[in-house]
Amino acid sequence: MTVFKTFLKILNKNKFIIILYTMFLIFFGGFNMQTSENNTNFVASKPDIMIVNYDEEKGITKDLIKYIEENSNVVDLKKNEDAINDALFYRDVNYVVYIPKNYNKDFMDGKNPEIEIKSTGDYQSSFAEMLLSRYIKVANIYQKSINSEEELISKINETLSKKSEVEITSKLDTNILSKATFYYNFANYSIMACLIYVICLILASFKDIKIQKRTIISSTNYKTLNRQLLLSNSLFSIILWMIYVTLSFILVGDIMFSIHGIFYLINSFVFTICATTIALFIGNIISNKNAISGIVNVIALGSSFLCGAFVPMEWLPEGVIKIAHILPSYYYISNNEILKTLEIINFNTIKPILLNIIIILSFSIIFIILTNIVSKRKQKIG
Amino acid sequence: MKNVIEVKNLIKEYKEIKAVDNLSFEVHEGEILGLLGPNGSGKTTTINCLLSLLNYSSGSIKIFGKEMKPDSYDIKSKIGVVFQDVAVFEELTVYDNIDYFCGLYIKDKKLRKQYIEDAIELVGLEEFKKFYPKQLSGGLLRRLNIACGIAHKPKLIFLDEPTVAVDPQSRNNILDGIKKLRDNGATIIYTTHYMEEVEIICDRIIILDKGKILATGTSDELKELAKIEEKITVEINELQENYIEDIKKSKNVDEVKYTNSLLLVTYTKGKNNLVELMEYLKENKIKYNKIYSERPTLNDVFLELTGKELRD
Amino acid sequence: MFIHNFKYSLKTLFRNKELIFWTFAFPIILATFFNMAFSDIENSEKLDIINIAIIQNDDFNNNEVFKSAFEEMSDKNNKDRLFETKYTTKEEAQKLLEEEKIVGYMELVDNKPKLTFITSGINETIFKYVSEEIMQTSNIINNLTEEEIQNQIMTGNFNVDYESIYNKVIEITTEENVKLKNISSDNLSYTMIEFYTLIAMVCLYGGILGTVSINQNLANMSNQGKRVSIAPTTKGKVILSSVLASYITQLIGVALLFIYTIFVLNVDYGNNLGLIIILALVGSLAGLSLGTMVATTIKSNENVKTGIILSITMLGCFLSGMMGITMKYIIDKNIPIINKLNPANMITDGLYSLYYYETLDRYIFNVVSLLIFAFILIAVSYISLRRQKYDSI
């Protein structure tokens, strides 16, 4: 009991750290979660295009602008080159179209005037360029045989209005599941950082050489003491996990009450266990309190960056993913990613999830064994 | 005798309390002056004011005949201080620490090297030159702390409780070192709340309490302030009340106490008290195990002056 | 004296393992993580080849326009290749879709494309768009052919050569006559910002070195400081040499990060090395001034002072895009004053302008801002140091 009391006191002194990492989770984990509609209907992706028109808005010019507006999100920025350049750099706009002066007149005269563009070079901008080229190409073809502006425009629009029929098969609301996955992926960082930091700090306090001398000579058996410490730490981990789960119910919502939600919970719980064993291991090999924050940052940030907690896994280079296989976070995050697109739940589809969970548990066992080996060696002072 | 330090009417006020209250004293050349007082009596504050580390509210401080100011570098170069707290760099070795602080005074590298060696020898750290402070025990760390303060061979040395929490061996080493410094011509101001140390090494003592000087003088002079001069303790297993009354009536006796088989008799004047008491006991056939006489300690003096013990 | 103190200031700074970890090693570790995580983002944002399936029914086999168009767009030798196309039965296509081997499949029904996807997305949109484009092309061909035939009939030529008209029309439609000129800068790699914020972080973290080394000289901050205060040396000289030592230490940290990011991680800082060095010097000076100001004006222990510098640095880096570059853009665009006052952003933006902009106005603005920032903070430190006498230690 005394161990637990002391534990709580030390915990209380470090509550700021816990609050800090939790705030990170709410702020960043919840940041990317703007609500959008359930997308079981097809929604065309629209690139962000900015139009800088030096021509009068009439004729072909007007129609081109109308076409772009219909097929993209037109971004309205200050007509200032620096602002436009910044917007391009930060992908606020994917594509900028500069319609030159007298475009309408020159076009009707068959001069096929050149259009200047700025592009970010990503797929959004490639699509934007497809849109623009399409219009000009169609317009050019008809321009050769049609002289009337009005007729030309109606012909162009007739052609461009031909649409394909689209059907969407998925009934799954991937949007909300992505949110849940994003949240739980980020939780990888918060759980690791928080647990390792706090548990290491507490172990370091208990293992402080002077204090350890006292506890060793005290009438409490060191095994009992260690058991109490382990119990307190586990309790802390579970409470932290419950806080984060509760937060996910608030931030993500209904989906957490589904079978998917249960899998997110199980997965994060198993990972919490693993993170606790990692924390205990590190806490046992480190006695210098000052070193803790450095180690926490390196380990928690490292496994978060390498395993795709911050940047989606599909964007990571192959080599990094390969390295990530040696870290438990990889399996935890893989599970979240599987859950995101998991449509039919049967034994076959959840098999990979269970496999990952087994791997995470194996990591935990390895860390427990390592901790035992290390602490056995350290039973005598100095 | 020349005065190295002259302090007149020094007052240092914090918001509500007067830490130093109208202090005036002198320090003579070549002496070891002890500043004695319980914790919080204003010893360290006084020293910090003398060193112009602290602003003081009023009064004047002259060191080596000149007013002490933060930029009195000529005065500062002749002063060495050993602080109560260990003031060394964790990141530097024993040698580097001494070299750094000595280097703030002595620019000549060759001379400095010699001085550092002397200081290391004085405090007995020859074997630990390459050690980092973390690797030193408490006593050795204190010695390093002293070496850092006195390596530049100052004329005036302040020692602020240099022996707090030090093992007896290191303490003796330190006290010997201090005497050596004095013998080499330095004037030393020594603050402590261990009166035994003061009695051993100080030429003159100032007793401070609550920022005020209670008494000044040599150890003997101070003891004379107390009205008692001799304390005799006798171990007697049983003593009847009438004998106690008898002893109380004898010559020079100030007080008689009998508790826990111990008879304690204090005398206001000395000479033959012990013999007379022993004769009295013999006459009345009172058996006793042990008898011994003590001169009063500074603690007794302090107790009389303030009504409380020096040590808290 | 100056050199003596300088030497030992350097020695104590370099021996301070914690300090060296945070100012030297941590940024390099972080840079490595950034590099691992971000090195592929921009490539994965480029248009990939899209896996699709087309159902081989009679409609498709007889539709020359669709057939040839998809053939061309799936041709491995075509540099503008868009698709990897499988020609399958409907059942096979459905299976492929379920296994997510393809993003969707197309079935021609009455020469009208019908597309099936799992969900919406950019690849799906492009597939849909391309199918529409082909449909539109056939529409043009039909329109033009019809028109041409009518023209010929109008001119009295009833002996219409369909073949030649068709070929003529095809020729018109395949003619590449769209004139676009790309005038955007080549340096569009936005993940560079992450590394720029790291440089900013190191420059400002350096302030901690300044704080620590000044604290060593202040009697109210450290016991060593008391020793220095009672030594016969001017405080100004000692502090100046300590500050210089911490500045040099800081610059070594910055230089290490530059070397590491340039030679190991291939971070692009633009081409003007001289200007980059000036920015690094000025940025470090700003960090140093932050450190000296915190050291001299805030009366608290070293941990609090370090905490303040860390918080200011991290907040500054956050606002200048370290945890997501969008943040910098949002602030720059909507509340520019915040980032104009934010030293982390001055450094980040300075590097950004060297990398992305051809003109130097923005760079110079940032360098001057940093100098003003540093000057004000150093002036404040100087004044408060001059005023400092201790009423209590």
- For residues A58 and C224, give the distance between their C-alpha atoms in angstroms, rounded to a whole number: 79
**Percentage of the residues of chain A whose pLDDT score is greater than 90:** 23
What are C14-33's pLDDT values in tens digits?
888 888 888 899 999 999 98
Closest CA to C347 of C269, C246, C264: C269
Shared domain check, B218 and B235: no
Structurally, chain B folds into a number of domains equal to 2
The label of the residue with tokens 């608030």 reads A250
Bridge-based pairing state of the strands A48-53 and A95-99: parallel
Which site among A137, A323, A344 would you substitute to test the C interface, given the most C Cβ atoms closer than 10 Å to its Cβ?
A: A137
Domain end (from A127, A160, A193): A160
Q: What is the pLDDT of residues B163-205, one digit of tens each?
A: 877 788 888 888 888 888 889 889 999 988 787 788 888 899 9
In this structure, what DSSP letter does residue A369 have?
Answer: H
Let me know if residue A165 belongs to a domain. no
pLDDT of B113-162, one tens digit each?
Answer: 999 999 999 888 999 999 999 888 888 888 899 999 889 899 999 988 88
For residue C158, is pLDDT > 80?
no
Report residue C326 as tokens: 């969008």
Residue C112 is nearest to which of A134, A165, A315, comparing CB atoms? A165
Cβ-based interface (< 8 Å): residues of B facing C: 14, 48, 51, 53-55, 70-71, 73-77, 79, 81, 83, 85-92, 96, 99-101, 103-105, 107, 148-149
User: Beta partners for A48?
Assistant: A73
pLDDT score of B223 more than 70: yes
B19 belongs to a structural domain: yes
Give A131's contacts in chain C (Cβ within 8 Å). 129
Q: Position C102: which residue type? A: I
Q: B111 and B245, same structural domain? A: no
At A382 the pLDDT is: 41
* Top-confidence range, A152-156, A254-258, B236-240: A152-156
Q: What is the pLDDT of residue A49?
A: 92
Q: How many domains does chain A have?
A: 2
Residues of A in contact with C178 (CB under 8 A): 132-133, 136-137, 140
Q: Which band of pLDDT confidence, cut at 50, 70 and 90, is reported for residue A211?
A: low
pLDDT at B128: 93
* Nearest-angstrom CA–CA distance, B202 and C212: 39
Residue B306 belongs to some domain of the structure: no
CA-based nearest residue to B288, from B307, B274, B304 = B274
C21 touches B: beta carbon within 8 Å? no
Same domain, yes or no: B136 and B218 = yes
Q: How confident is the model at residue A35 (pLDDT cuts 50, 70, 90)?
A: very low
The answer to whether position B214 is within a domain reads: yes
Residue C221 dihedral angles phi and psi, to the nearest 5°: -105, -30
Show contacts of B2-6: CB within 8 Å, 24+ apart. Answer: B2/B28, B2/B29, B3/B27, B3/B28, B3/B29, B3/B65, B4/B28, B4/B29, B4/B63, B4/B64, B4/B155, B4/B156, B4/B187, B5/B50, B5/B61, B5/B62, B5/B63, B5/B156, B5/B187, B5/B189, B6/B60, B6/B61, B6/B62
pLDDT of residue C246: 93
Neighbours of chain B (3+ CB pairs under 8 A): C
Q: How far is residue B267's CA from residue B257's CA, in Å, rounded to a whole number?
A: 12
Mean pLDDT of B280-290: 85
Judged by CB atoms closer than 8 Å, whether chains meet at C122 and A158 is answered as no
Q: Which of A31, A159, A301 to mutate to test binding with chain C, by most C CBs within 10 Å of its CB?
A: A159
Domain boundaries, position B290: 227-295
Q: B117 lies in a domain?
A: yes
Contacts of C4 in chain B (CB under 8 A): 100, 103-104, 107
Determine contact, residues B122/B162, Cβ cutoff 8 Å.
no
Inter-residue contact C348 to C331 (CB < 8 Å): no
CA distance A296 to B157: 47
In a domain, A295, yes or no: yes
Comparing A111-115, A122-126, B303-307, C225-229, the range with the smallest average pLDDT is: B303-307
Beta strands in chain B (DSSP E): 3-13, 18-28, 32-36, 58-63, 66-67, 79-82, 156-160, 187-192, 204-209, 212-217, 230-235, 253-259, 262-267, 291-294
Residues in chain A within 8 Å Cβ distance of C37: 305-306, 308, 310-311, 316, 320
ipTM value of the model? 0.80
Contact A170 C119 (CB under 8 A): yes
pLDDT value at position A32? Answer: 53
List the 146-205 stretch of C: residues with Cβ below 8 A of A. Answer: 147, 172-173, 177-185, 188, 190
- In terms of domains, do B173 and B207 share one? yes
Rg of chain B in Å (alpha carbons)? 24
| Residue B284 pLDDT greater than 90, yes or no | no
Confirm whether A6 is domain-assigned.
yes
**pLDDT at residue A215 in the model:** 60
User: What percent of chain B is predicted at pLDDT more than 70?
Assistant: 97
Tell me whether residue A121 is in a domain: yes
Q: Which chains have at least 3 CB atom pairs separated by less than 8 Å from chain A?
A: C
**Does one domain contain both A305 and A230?**
yes
Q: Is residue A238 part of a domain?
A: yes
Task: Tell me: do A208 and A355 sit in the same domain.
Answer: yes
Chain A interface includes C303 (CB < 8 A): no
Q: How confident is the model at residue A39 (pLDDT cuts 50, 70, 90)?
A: very low
Contacts of C117 in chain A (CB under 8 A): 42, 166-169
Does A382 fall in a domain?
no
Between helix A289-307 and helix A174-207 the angle, nearest 10°, is 160
pLDDT tens digits for range B31-74: 999 988 887 888 888 888 888 888 888 899 999 988 888 778 88
In this prediction, residue C31 carries a pLDDT of: 92
Q: What is the pLDDT of residue B51?
A: 86
Mean pLDDT of chain C: 86
Residue C199 pLDDT? 93
Report if residue A42 sits inside a domain: no
Last-in-domain residue among A102, A135, A160: A160
Answer yes or no: do B162 and B36 share one domain: yes
Q: Report d(CA B210, CA B195) in Å as an integer.
A: 18
Same domain, A245 and A126: no
- CATH number, domain at B189? 3.40.50.300
Same domain for A183 and A275: yes
Cα gap B11→B123, rounded to integer Å? 35
Domain check: are B138 and B234 in the same one? no
Burial of B42 (0-12, 13-18, 19+ CB in 10 A): buried
| B72 and B127 inside one domain | yes
Q: Is residue B257 part of a domain?
A: yes
Q: Which residues of C touch A298 (CB under 8 A)?
A: 26, 29
Min Cα–Cα distance to chain C from B19, Å: 11
Listed ranges A17-26, B204-213, C168-177; the one with the highest mean pLDDT: B204-213
In this structure, are A110 and A24 located in the same domain? Answer: no
Most confident of A201-210, A213-222, B216-225, C164-173: B216-225
Stretch B302-307: mean pLDDT:
75
Chains B and A in direct contact, meaning 3 or more beta-carbon pairs closer than 8 angstroms = no
pTM higher than 0.90, yes or no?
no
Q: Based on the domain organization, do A232 and A352 belong to the same domain?
A: yes
On whether the CB atoms of residues A338 and A263 are closer than 8 A, the answer is no
> What pLDDT is attached to residue B161?
85
Same domain, B251 and B133: no
> Which pLDDT tens digit goes with each residue over C308-352?
888 888 889 888 888 778 888 888 888 889 889 999 999 999 999
pLDDT at A212: 62
The single-letter DSSP state of residue B21 is E
Q: Give the pairing type, strands B32-36 and B204-209.
A: parallel
Identify the band that residue C251 occupies on the pLDDT scale cut at 50, 70 and 90: very high
DSSP run (H or E) holding A119: strand A115-119
Cβ distance A91 to C34 less than 8 Å, yes or no, reads: no
Residue A130: CATH number of its domain: 3.40.1710.10
Nearest CA in chain C to B146: C227
Is a pLDDT exceeding 80 seen at residue C99?
Answer: no
Give the residue from B299, B23, B37 showing the smallest Cα distance to B161.
B37
Buried b (16+ CB within 10 A) or exposed e, B9-31: ebbbeeeeeebbbebebbbeebb
* Nearest-by-CA chain C residue for B72: C232
Task: Give yes or no for residue A160 having a pLDDT over 90.
Answer: no
Domain ranges, residue A308:
2-36+173-377
> Residue C255, Cα to own-chain centre: how many angstroms?
21
Same domain flag for A188 and A297:
yes
* Together in a domain, B147 and B54: yes
Partners of residue C239 in chain B, C-beta under 8 Å: none
* Contact flag B73-C230 (C-beta cutoff 8 Å): no
A299 lies in the same domain as A336: yes
Out of B196, B224, B252, a domain closes at: B224
Average pLDDT, chain A: 83
Q: Provide the token pair at C382.
A: 């100087």
Q: Per the CB < 8 Å rule, is B85 touching C223?
A: yes
Which residues, in sequence order, are bridge partners of residue B264? B233, B257
In the predicted model, is pLDDT for residue A1 greater than 80? Answer: no
Considering only residues 93 to 112 of chain C, which have any Cβ-Cβ distance to chain A shorter than 8 Å?
A: 97, 100, 106, 112
Give residue C279's pLDDT. 94
| Digit-coded pLDDT (tens) for A63-79 | 999 999 988 888 888 87
**Å between A224 CA and nearest CA of chain C:** 35
A297 and A189 fall within a common domain: yes
B151 lies in the same domain as B247: no
Q: Per the domain annotation, does B301 fall within a domain? A: no
Q: Which of A23, A39, A41, A45 to mutate to test the interface with C (most CBs of C within 10 A)?
A: A45
A342 and A285, same structural domain? yes
Q: For chain B, what is the mean pLDDT? A: 85
- Calculate how close chain A gets to C234, using CA atoms only, in Å: 34
**At B308, is the pLDDT very low, low, confident or very high (cuts 50, 70, 90)?**
low
Crossing angle of helices A259-285 and A289-307, rounded to 10°: 140
Domain boundary among A130, A160, A190: A160
Give A7-12's long-range contacts (Cβ < 8 A, gap of 24+). A7/A202, A7/A229, A7/A232, A7/A233, A7/A236, A10/A201, A10/A202, A10/A205, A11/A198, A11/A202, A11/A236
Enter the tokens of residue A289.
Answer: 């309190």
C-alpha angle with apex C75: C111 to A72, nearest 5 degrees? 65
Residues A57 and A194 both lie in one domain: no
Q: Does residue B39 sit in the same domain as residue B155?
A: yes
Flag whether pLDDT at A33 surpasses 70: no
| Whether residue A221 is found in the same domain as residue A153 | no
Residues B185 and B251 grouped into a single domain: no
DSSP letter for C104, please. E
Nearest-neighbour CA in chain B from C281: distance (Å): 27
